[in-house]
Amino acid sequence: MNSNLPQLPHGFFNIDKPIGITSMDVVRELRKEIKSKKIGHGGTLDPLATGVLPIAIGNATRLLEYLLNDSKTYIAEIEIGKSTNTYDAEGNFSNEEPYGHIEKSYVEKELEKFLGIIDQTPPIFSAIKKNGVPMYQLARRGIHVEIPSRQVQIIMLDLESFNPPYLTIKIKCSKGFYVRSFANDFGKKIGTGAYLKSLNRIQSGDMKIENSISLNTLKEELKQENYSNLITNFDSVLSHMEKKQLTEQESIKLKYGQKIVHNSSISNNQLIKVFDQNNIFFGIAEFMHQENILKPIKMFI
């Protein structure tokens, strides 16, 4: 590895992933520019998808699970009247179905039925593994494997535009949600078939598209070592967690794996981000309400 590569502090980059490459391709590209083996992404985007891709550097990789568990928001373009075996534009198209009778009011009514907690079956062409083998590899070999459905949540679903055969939706959803599966399910629901034509993730947890940077721009900034203002610190991607500042003695005990008694107004068990006496973030703890105890979960010392 080139010894002249910059040694970056720990933190996150908010990348606007371009079309045509995988999330892991982005990680590989950045590994060429950064002197760190600890690089990971916070949520897979298909090659045809664009948008927010959180990239963790160094010890920030230990926090990726909290980004993965957070909600995502997408702008999706769906074409009705057609469907594919991959549920997106990369697949093989089936026979076309008439869609001229589909009206906007009907689309809005049917979309409303998907709000809330629903059962969804992931696509067979997906990275989900069966006995250690990605499903898409099995599908390409013609091996059919039953995929169990899972419960996911659609938090918000708005019809942005309807110009048959295309409709554009804005959708906020939970982890584990496949917009491709939604497009396919919606097509079945209205009887025309449908597939996902394009997808742009505009929000992942606390990261938003308006604050993102392109991969090429970031690579150029890294070469110039002009990246300090582009790194997001640990705690800023955990704004949904309550913050607690502790005393020096409390901080030391937590850092070394000890539970501490801590009176708090928090009314239930939950994860919180903890700061030391100098207001510096140093980890995540679980507050156990009934015992008024803070239990260390992930410490950065």
List the catalytic residues: 46
Q: Residue 109 is inside which H or E element, if any?
A: helix 104-112
Other CB atoms within 10 A of residue 221 CB = 18
CA–CA separation, 301 and 299 (whole Å) = 6
Residue 290 has what DSSP assignment? T
Describe the chain by its helix, strand, coil percentages, rounded to 5: 25, 35, 40
The answer to whether 228 and 11 have CB atoms below 8 angstroms apart is no
CA–CA separation, 200 and 209 (whole Å) = 9
Query: Based on the number of CB atoms within 10 Å of its own CB, is 118 exposed (0-12), middle (13-18) or buried (19 or more)?
Result: middle
